[in-house]
Amino acid sequence: MKIKQSKCWFGDSYLPGDIVGLEPNGWSILEARASQAVFTPHTPRLHWFFIAKYLPGEKDYVIIESIPDGGVRIGRLSWYDGQKYQVFRIAGIDPATGQRIIDEASLFGRRQYGYLSIIKMLPAIIAIEWANWKIHRRLRSVTARDMYIHMSDKGLLCTQLVFDVPKALGIDILLPGDAPLPCAFISAIDAGLLKEVTQQTGRQR
């Protein structure tokens, strides 16, 4: 599949169903550094969401995301002006399938944010690190596969939303057994399950 390249984010190069990985700014950078210290593969892109629709009159995109302040919500890509992000397309899908993914995403509306997954993962991470320390006297990086059984479906992390919606249509975007965490998306990219469309920095306000 030929991927259209974009020189500016406000063109119409992105399609419904494309997936955005966003790098944090401000205090969220500390969260990114903590995540990189714990998980492998490392990635600075912590927030993931869908491109839903292009608005040519406004040169903007509608997005669907799950955020701590409200759960699954609709927003605009321009809300992330000034932040670095990459856009990916699910390998092998056509525009009609991308639109089906966005239509399916509407069924996930009003779902709460996945705080319970975070609560469940924290003691699991501590247990993994403690067990490794007792044997090897060092810590080790945690993988998405380590966390698979500790994810909760009582609410959705941003990455869970992006994983669960295609999954509901029988489309797997991550490697089998990987929990939907940012590090799992890097493994999926390396495996060719996600193809990069472009890497951009949003417009400065």
- What residue ranges in 41-154 does DSSP mark as E strands? 47-55, 60-67, 71-76, 84-90
CATH of 19-201, one of 3.90.1720.10, 3.40.50.150, 3.30.70.260, 3.40.50.300: 3.90.1720.10
Q: Which residues contact 128 (CB under 8 A, 6 or more apart)?
A: 140, 142, 146
- Look at residue 202 in the predicted model and tell me its pLDDT: 61
The continuous run of DSSP H or E covering 153 comes out as none
The structural domains of the chain, with segments of one domain joined by +, span: 19-201
Of 30, 36, 5, which is closest to residue 196 (Cα–Cα)?
Answer: 5
Question: Three-state DSSP class for 196?
Answer: strand
- Look at residue 141 in the predicted model and tell me its pLDDT: 87
- Look at residue 1 in the predicted model and tell me its pLDDT: 36
Q: Which residues contact 137 (CB under 8 A, 6 or more apart)?
A: none
User: Strands 47-55 and 194-201: what pairing?
Assistant: unpaired
Q: Does a cis peptide bond (omega within 30 degrees of 0) precede residue 41?
A: yes
Task: Say if residue 110 is exposed, middle or buried (CB neighbours under 10 Å; 0-12, 13-18, 19+).
Answer: exposed
Question: Three-state DSSP class for 51?
Answer: strand
Q: What are phi and psi of 8, to 5 degrees?
A: -145, 140
How far is the CA of 31 from the CAs of 47, 152, 177, 181, in angstroms?
Answer: 11, 21, 25, 14
The continuous run of DSSP H or E covering 115 comes out as helix 115-136
- Look at residue 17 in the predicted model and tell me its pLDDT: 98
Q: What are phi and psi of 87, to 5 degrees?
A: -115, 135
- Look at residue 2 in the predicted model and tell me its pLDDT: 36
CA distance 111 to 72: 6
- Look at residue 203 in the predicted model and tell me its pLDDT: 56
Around 134, how many Cα atoms within 13 Å sit in the side-chain half-sphere? 5
Mean pLDDT by 10 residues, the chain (205 residues): 38 89 78 77 94 95 96 96 94 97 96 93 89 81 90 92 98 97 96 89 51
- Look at residue 129 in the predicted model and tell me its pLDDT: 86
**pTM of the predicted model, to two decimals?**
0.86
Question: Three-state DSSP class for 105?
Answer: helix
Of 156, 5, 131, which is closest to residue 70 (Cα–Cα)?
Answer: 156
